[in-house]
């Protein structure tokens, strides 16, 4: 058994951590969100061009027998709209050091994220279209799958910030990390509004 003096343990008398510089993660998340949004937007642009050319040639967008269902897409929209409320709730609670509420809100947001992924997978099932069925079909999968990837990244971001909150950080003024995650999450929702309108509604 070591007889090292107690005073040598760095955990004793360790100074508290200096405050974080504000805005760094928030601004970085804004840039990251812009890049992610543009990635989906560029893929969507190609999809719209292909669809437009098929339409002007008088052809259908998808192969015969394939119908793009609206309900799962709309369900996804409702799910994400609800998650916008829960993530705002989480940010507000953390800022006011109301941690139980923050944990509930974060859990709900992640749950809604999973529900959204589920609704998209259900849409793929309803669609019952092979990946190689047509150019537009392949592009539809590319756009929606990239958006799903964005959702997964957003959920990981929220989970990482949630871990920090559980570990006693992100308190009061220092809670900006969650605002950054929320900003990214809102970007995800904004992109989905465009996908929902541009792909599922206008067809």
Tokens of 134: 């047509």
DSSP letter assigned to residue 18: P
Q: Does 27 bind another protein (CB under 8 A)?
A: yes
Based on CB atoms, which residue is closest to another protein, 74 or 138? 138
Report the site for another protein in 143-172 (rule: CB under 8 A): 146, 156, 160, 163-164, 167-169
Q: Does 188 bind another protein (CB under 8 A)?
A: no
Note whether 119 and 72 are within 8 A (CB): yes
- For another protein (CB under 8 A), the number of binding residues is 64
Tokens of 139: 């592009």
33 Cβ contact partners less than 8 Å away, ≥ 6 residues apart: 183, 184, 187
What's the burial of 40, exposed, middle or buried (CB within 10 Å: 0-12/13-18/19+)? buried
- Nearest residue to 120 (alpha-carbon basis) of 191, 67, 190, 72: 72
Taking the complex as a whole, the smallest distance from the CB of residue 134 to another protein amounts, in Å, to: 9
Position among 63, 65, 142, 192 found at the interface with another protein (CB under 8 A)? 142
Report the site for another protein in 42-81 (rule: CB under 8 A): 42-46, 48-53
Q: Using CB under 8 A, list all residues that contact another protein.
A: 1-4, 6, 8-24, 26-28, 30-32, 34-46, 48-53, 130-132, 135, 138-139, 141-142, 146, 156, 160, 163-164, 167-169, 173
């Amino acid at each position: 058994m070591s007889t090292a003096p107690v005073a040598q343990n760095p955990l004793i008398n360790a100074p508290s951590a200096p405050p974080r510089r504000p805005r760094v993660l928030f601004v970085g998340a804004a840039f990251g969100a812009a890049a992610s949004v543009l990635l989906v937007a560029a893929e969507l642009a190609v999809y719209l061009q292909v669809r437009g050319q098929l339409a002007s040639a008088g052809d259908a967008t998808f192969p015969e027998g394939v119908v793009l269902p609206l309900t799962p897409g709309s369900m996804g929209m409702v799910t994400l709209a609800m998650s916008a409320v829960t993530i705002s709730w989480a940010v507000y609670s953390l800022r006011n050091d109301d941690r139980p509420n923050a944990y509930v809100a974060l859990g709900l947001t992640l749950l809604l994220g999973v529900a959204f992924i589920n609704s998209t997978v259900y849409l793929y099932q309803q669609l019952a279209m092979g990946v190689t069925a047509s150019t537009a079909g392949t592009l539809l999968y590319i756009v929606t799958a990239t958006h799903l990837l964005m959702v997964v990244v957003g959920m990981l971001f929220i989970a990482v910030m949630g871990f920090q909150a559980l570990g006693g950080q992100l308190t009061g003024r220092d809670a900006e990390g969650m605002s950054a995650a929320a900003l990214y999450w809102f970007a995800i929702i904004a992109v989905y509004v465009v996908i929902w309108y541009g792909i599922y509604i206008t067809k």
